[in-house]
Amino acid sequence: MTNPGGFPARPTECDLVMQGGITSGVAYPAAVLELYKTFRFRSIGGASAGAMAAAVTAAAEYARDSGGFERLQVLRRQLQEPGLIVRQFRPTKQAKPLFRILLAAQAKRTTGAKAITYLWGLLRWLFLPLLLSAAVAFGLGWLLVASAGGTLGGIGWSGWAVFVVGILITGGLGLTLALAWSVVRLVRDLPKNYYGMCIGHKQRPRDPDALADWLYQQIQIVAGKDLADPLTFGDLNAKGVNLRLMTTDVTGGRPVRLPNESYSDVNYLFSLDEWRKLFPTEVLDHLDRISPVVYPGAGELRALPTDDLPVLVATRMSLTFPVLLSAVPLWTVDGKTVSRHWFADGGISSNFPIQFFDAWLPTRPTFGLYFGPKVPSAQGEQPPVDPERVEERPSLLSYLGGILSAGLNWHDTLQARLPGFSDRVRAIRLADGEGGFNLTMPPQTISSIDAKGAAAGRSLIDFDFQKHWVERYLIAMRMLQRNLVAPDDGHISMREAYTAEYHAWLASGEAVGPGHHEAWSAEAAAATAQLLDGADAWLRCGETFVDGTDPKPSVAMRITPDV
């Protein structure tokens, strides 16, 4: 569609990709509720906490004409209720003491106050071992005094000093052994709980809801569907909504996009019995109906569905924060070998998968929301006259966390800075104590994050898509011409690799073997020569797409896996 003046009309649809960040995701509903007033969401993607936001956004778009976004507004307000977030994470009995200590670690307190909190947490964790250690130490001391023919009342001040020191040493050793044993038991039990402190689903009907139960209810409510009828990817597709979520096959060492469609080279299976520990009954009943057993002799394994996959399942697989939440088991069959694969957080492999919906030339904008550093100013923009010097001196833990983040997120961070990406990506800058593992954020903190999300959404409403399209066009043509005929960057162009000898070999049909390929080979050789000659002829007005200065950071066009 074009305007009367011949210019392309402003798009009324958009795609949206959201980064992971545990509780940072409370910023996303506000941003979505700003964008939906101007755009329809066609493709929505995310990883980890971004997957949660993507799922409820897709549910709202699915029910746009029946109050979906109005119900998302209700969820937005609900997220600001005191204690709501932390209630979704219910640790197992063995993990509860350590979980409490981790919650204390992220609280905003002085060093002294935190030390007292840690000590109190340890004492609560090890109260009985501490009591027993003190009793044993006292008994040993009494026996030692009695064996020497004395009494506790007659050992004097010096004797009491030695006696107390002995009790403290013995008690300390006992406490250390008890702590070590408790940690060993916790580590030993983690595999039984699918490697998580919190399973994420209530284990008994009378238990309070956990994360998967609460999230399933919210997805269904926003979509306007009954709990007994799970929202599936097929339901979304029928309404023109394309949802894609990222997870990580830890066992296979690879990212996996959900739903796991036919383009994947791995067919995953699942065990309904194993999943009873992780998902609500309504989801399991749906899977039992639509996914029959295909490997009865290997543990009643069923094929993982695609269109019929409940959105909740893919979302839970994407937000499996390592160690905090239990991993999700799937299976593969290779010949006679049946192997279990453990799936964890999508942020491990791609925390900001903005590549999900990209094309060489876009027909609508793909917006990105993330929590990384602010994207630098556009190339050629002048720096401030009197820049302020800011010296970052993080703590050791922050420094080590930065190393881990750089290792996991370097690709996503650089992608957000590329020409054609940086103009459509918005960083939501969070202060210390906002988002991340801060499960106990007070309502005013969540409200602050919500306001930042709303501001990010508003900043994208007047996005200049025509300018963006031209920039993407120039970059795409520059990369095409450079790779075909003029790399000028140390790489070999297709023209250099496609020599006269290879041209003759391909045209003869010998390159692809005898049979019906000869005609195809001759046509392919002629088409390749025509393509290269045509690339030479682009812009004969005196310039080529590869003239001038490259954008910074520089870009490359390569064949990569489609994940």
**pLDDT of 216 over the 80 cut:** yes
Distance CA 404, CA 149 (A): 62
Distance CA 548, CA 563 (A): 33
**pLDDT of 512 over the 90 cut:** no
- Per-residue burial over 220-231, b if 16 or more Cβ lie within 10 Å, else e, is bbbbbbeeeebb
**pLDDT of 51 over the 50 cut:** yes
What is the per-residue pLDDT for 156?
Answer: 60
pTM of the model: 0.84
Question: How many DSSP H helices and E strands does the chain contain?
Answer: 19, 13
The 10s digit of each residue's pLDDT in 110-127 is 455 555 555 555 565 555
Dihedral over Cα of 228, 231, 233, 238: its sign? positive
Mean pLDDT, rounded, of the chain: 83
At a CB cut-off of 8 Å and minimum separation 6, what does 115 contact? none
Query: 290 falls in which pLDDT band (50, 70, 90)?
Result: very high
What is the per-residue pLDDT for 110?
Answer: 47
Average confidence (pLDDT) over 509-527? 77
Distance CA 8, CA 544 (A): 25
What is the per-residue pLDDT for 148?
Answer: 56
The 10s digit of each residue's pLDDT in 302-345 is 999 999 999 999 999 999 998 899 999 999 988 788 899 999 99
The 10s digit of each residue's pLDDT in 402-458 is 777 777 777 777 777 788 888 999 989 888 778 877 888 889 999 999 999 999 999
| Range from 94-98, 159-163, 212-216, 329-333 carrying the lowest mean pLDDT | 159-163
**Diameter over CA atoms, the chain:** 111
At residue 27's C-alpha, the angle toward residues 21 and 29, to 5°, is 120
**pLDDT of 529 over the 90 cut:** yes
**pLDDT of 168 over the 80 cut:** no
The 10s digit of each residue's pLDDT in 363-416 is 999 999 988 654 444 444 445 555 555 556 666 666 777 777 777 777 777 777
β-sheet bridge partners, residue 329: 342
| First-to-last C-alpha distance (Å) of the chain | 31
What is the per-residue pLDDT for 487?
Answer: 64
DSSP 553: S
For residue 317, give the nearest of 233, 227, 412 by alpha carbon. Answer: 233
What is the per-residue pLDDT for 276?
Answer: 95
Average confidence (pLDDT) over 11-39? 94
What is the per-residue pLDDT for 251?
Answer: 93
The 10s digit of each residue's pLDDT in 484-502 is 987 656 678 898 899 999 9
Say how many residues make up the chain: 563
At a CB cut-off of 8 Å and minimum separation 6, what does 193 contact? 92, 95, 199, 326
- Torsions phi, psi for 288 (to 5 deg): -65, -35
| Range from 210-219, 265-274, 452-461 carrying the lowest mean pLDDT | 265-274
**pLDDT of 518 over the 70 cut:** no
Highest mean pLDDT pick, 56-65, 76-85, 541-550: 56-65
% of the chain surpassing 70 pLDDT: 77
Distance CA 125, CA 309 (A): 41
What is the per-residue pLDDT for 189?
Answer: 81
Distance CA 268, CA 260 (A): 8
**pLDDT of 197 over the 60 cut:** yes
What is the per-residue pLDDT for 349?
Answer: 87
Structure tokens at 337: 């070998």
What is the per-residue pLDDT for 554?
Answer: 73
What is the per-residue pLDDT for 378?
Answer: 44
